[in-house]
Structure 1
């Protein structure tokens, strides 16, 4: 991807590191995994266009009881063989969805295991880990304990009873009220982290020192309210090896395995060289979007943004900052918390039969329309609702609105190259150009379109910075829609000379500009549009996003039999 020429100079030392949560490979990836990865990919690509050195990390969380149980259930001789198969499904999804990560980390990677031990030992040496007895309600699905106040007995009729006054029997089912997953009661010896020591520090940090650490603000408010209303309890951060065999040994006690969340969260440190590298700030080799080069880990860490789903907000905004504070490590820059994806208005479930397979959708509707649909039909604060008919309609709109605008301009009745040669780079004002056009309605349509394009890059950038992808894409649709109206009312097929060329130039400029801006969203299709009109590879950056910035494109664009970048496909779902 080409960089803005101005940005290359202005931001040559600017760093941007973005992370997905690492995903649990106990089953094939689903739409939620794709959404987290897509938000990171788009943000990374956009920052790269702005001139940042970008690092984008994702991966798989491969230890813990869920993996151990799933491995046994699926007949594998050991969990490593199981995750070696499943992690490839996540890599495959990233490849099919054109997710351009720079590091795919696995918690079975040797450098990650070293980093986990570094973090544990640092917290141990500073007095924040101790051994004790633990009893309570444990969720295998969530890999964590829940207080009794958040546990209910689920009866056969659906009624939920508090557990405080109940006599617990093994044949009864209990769930936690946060994730609705099953919990079981047991006691064991564990190592504990002094989470209770960080309640005041966390509140001071989130309310005073860095109120923008959690985004959006509504998610920050939820965490702050939880810290105000509920006293933090010390956290069990190990499990007996007799119960969990698949994990990293506690350095001081091989009879215990490190808690899977302590292990998994550390991947973010592993990705930038590990805890000691951050503390010493010694240079490490990092693969950026564009090149391999030496970077100081502390600088990368200071520019790190975590993108996560709302179900794991507590782990990333309470546990993780506390671990880092305990180890004396600076906190990352930001945690972005997004909603989930529903299907037909309800939570996806195999029993209901409404689970969306992202690989299946990409195979039929192609990668970029799926990317566009997910980003247009979601909001960072709310849950999305996947409907295949809407995905199909989105693809049809890209063909009929954007693709049709391109195809109209590429008709052999016109000459894009002549129009560009006549009007690109010229000094004439929009008002002067409007006088070339016949009719007040056409002139008004032209001036409205030119004004909209003038402010488009800046407005678009504001939304992209905040991951407000729906608002950003609405801007593109607005200008594409008005460009189609302008072509329709100006009837270039009935005009000739400079009037025809001005109409074609203005319309094809909309295609060029929107395609450049859309590169982070639909990288393949937007570049296919730009290829179709002969835009040079070095002229697809943000410095070229104003009218008349490119003087050289259009040659051969109006020749017959040129391939159409996107064609219609059939809707094969049910409404």
Structure 2
């Protein structure tokens, strides 16, 4: 109980802005997009669940040569029509996965275009942009130049060693950003702020790259309009378009109200209007509490380029950048040619959004690639049915009376409650252990979710569910009568009630169904009630016959 009170005192003071990378809509979204969004969604929901203030922004990165070329191949009259259509596919996946963002930003949004130009002007005014000729190996897929040291010949083409994508030698005149001027400042900042990049292995990786000889060179931040027609004009020079990464990274500050509002430590209603966001919190405070969640393939752009752009413009840096790994399909990298690309919409349609969310989070590890296996997704759903769903169904059977148990024990002190079990010391110890686990699980879940350690969080949930099932199986409450029976049912349903409340950010729909099944009032599903004995009104009608089960079995999808 002391742990709960310590944690609960911290609930109302937190502010957070959580972002996915904005996704490139040159093709339909895939499993990786859902995963990034899901990590952010759970973190955002958890923050709101704790009564904190939170924003969650995602969106689409809609400019660049890849979009221009993909649009032409698809036969569209202009790229805007192309991105307008594909943008809807990303929103469709968010709806299917129950991803509830605050803002879906598009780099074609008017307020964002203004902020990109403002960022450019500040970097230029401070002396960090110059015009010059660029010669080097360019990757259309990655929209970036690579140094000679990272290029090798493969069959009849040249590729870069970072992503394996094709590069071509190219020369052009454009604008450069003095990235090399920030090498020492970046090393110092990242070294002195060890939580700025997580996990720690990724922070060390970035530091190694910064400290390599020649590892940080000035970068081209524009492209000739003759080659790239689909982009934002460079301020004062329409013959050049802004480099797509300089454009895209700026979305994060656009989303919280814009550069001017951040610099003035004020609140802007341009980006925040009608989004349910606390406008009393300034754009600067939202920005200082920003966490970027990104895939490992774009680590350089977010941990080196982006902080340098911000420093050059005189803007503060975000709070943290969390880097996650990728998803494989049955242990193999997903590829259209191999036919092993996982369609997240297809999986959600068959197995349900909550089973999909639970599976991805339970099999999530930030540092190593994760492995998607459909049979394991099916098994996950079956476990939710057989372990958690069945626990609730058994305790809500006609032989028991949950309402009576709640009425009797919800307001009873722990010692008196356990004294109802004097005749069975083993049973007493098991219930005591279960209740002790429930005392600590809110704070433990908070720590795990705040660090995006979703696997550890769900492992903890399973341990409590397993302990509850063991209690039912070993104690055989159907063979008991009176207070002993009621204590067992009460302890198990307190476990389900508290876990269902805590898991609302993880499995929103299923958690609601589990709470509905034991008749927990809607106004008693907040963090305040996630402790033993906090609710004395649930259970009314829970043991009536004919009530629907929270989750039903479903067969493995036909391949």
TM-score normalized by the length of structure 1? 0.94
SS in 2 for 1:293: coil
Say whether 1:220 aligns with 2:206: no
1:96 Cα offset (Å): 0.6
- Paired with 2:549 and 2:400, the residues of 1 have a C-alpha distance of 17
**Of 346, 350, 354, the match for 2:340:** 354
Kept after mapping to 2: 8 A contact 1:55/1:288: no
1:532 Cα offset (Å): 1.2
**Of 359, 379, 392, the match for 2:365:** 379
1:121–1:8: structure 2 CA closer, same or farther, 3 Å change rule? farther
1:435 Cα offset (Å): 4.7
Deviations 1:48-72 (A, max 9, x none): 1112111000000000000000000
- Paired with 1:219 and 1:267, the residues of 2 have a C-alpha distance of 23
SS in 1 for 2:333: coil
Instruction: Indicate the larger mover: 258-267 or 437-446.
Output: 437-446
1:5–1:435: structure 2 CA closer, same or farther, 3 Å change rule? closer
**Of 303, 328, 331, the match for 2:317:** 331
- Paired with 1:573 and 1:124, the residues of 2 have a C-alpha distance of 58
Deviations 1:359-382 (A, max 9, x none): 000000000000000000011111
1:227 Cα offset (Å): 0.7
**Of 220, 224, 227, the match for 1:243:** 227
1:427–1:182: structure 2 CA closer, same or farther, 3 Å change rule? same
Kept after mapping to 1: 8 A contact 2:420/2:483: no
Q: Which residue number in structure 2 is paired with residue 320 of structure 1?
A: 306
SS in 2 for 1:145: strand
Q: Which residue number in structure 2 is paired with residue 485 of structure 1?
A: 470
Aligned length: 553
SS in 2 for 1:305: strand
1:154 Cα offset (Å): 0.2
Say whether 1:515 aligns with 2:500: yes
SS in 1 for 2:16: strand
Q: Which residue number in structure 2 is paired with residue 54 of structure 1?
A: 54
Q: Which residue number in structure 1 is paired with residue 159 of structure 2?
A: 175
SS in 1 for 2:184: helix
- Paired with 1:556 and 1:5, the residues of 2 have a C-alpha distance of 32
Q: List structure 1 segments (4+ residues) > 6 angstroms apart after TM superposition.
A: 4-9
Deviations 1:312-340 (A, max 9, x none): 00000000000000000000100000000
Q: Which residue number in structure 1 is paired with residue 402 of structure 2?
A: 416
- Paired with 2:411 and 2:13, the residues of 1 have a C-alpha distance of 31
Q: Which residue number in structure 1 is paired with residue 283 of structure 2?
A: 297
Q: Which residue number in structure 2 is paired with residue 195 of structure 1?
A: 179
1:20–1:424: structure 2 CA closer, same or farther, 3 Å change rule? same
1:288 Cα offset (Å): 8.7
Q: Which residue number in structure 1 is paired with residue 441 of structure 2?
A: 456
Kept after mapping to 2: 8 A contact 1:273/1:284: yes
Structure 2 residues without counterparts, runs of 5 or longer? none
Q: Which residue number in structure 2 is paired with residue 154 of structure 1?
A: 154
Matches within 5 A, 1:244-283: 244-283=228-267
Kept after mapping to 1: 8 A contact 2:59/2:105: yes
SS in 2 for 1:134: strand
- Paired with 2:199 and 2:236, the residues of 1 have a C-alpha distance of 40
Deviations 1:25-47 (A, max 9, x none): 00000000000000000000111
Instruction: Indicate the larger mover: 444-453 or 409-418.
Output: 444-453
- Paired with 2:382 and 2:275, the residues of 1 have a C-alpha distance of 32
1:248 Cα offset (Å): 0.3
Q: Which residue number in structure 2 is paired with residue 440 of structure 1?
A: 425
1:34–1:388: structure 2 CA closer, same or farther, 3 Å change rule? same
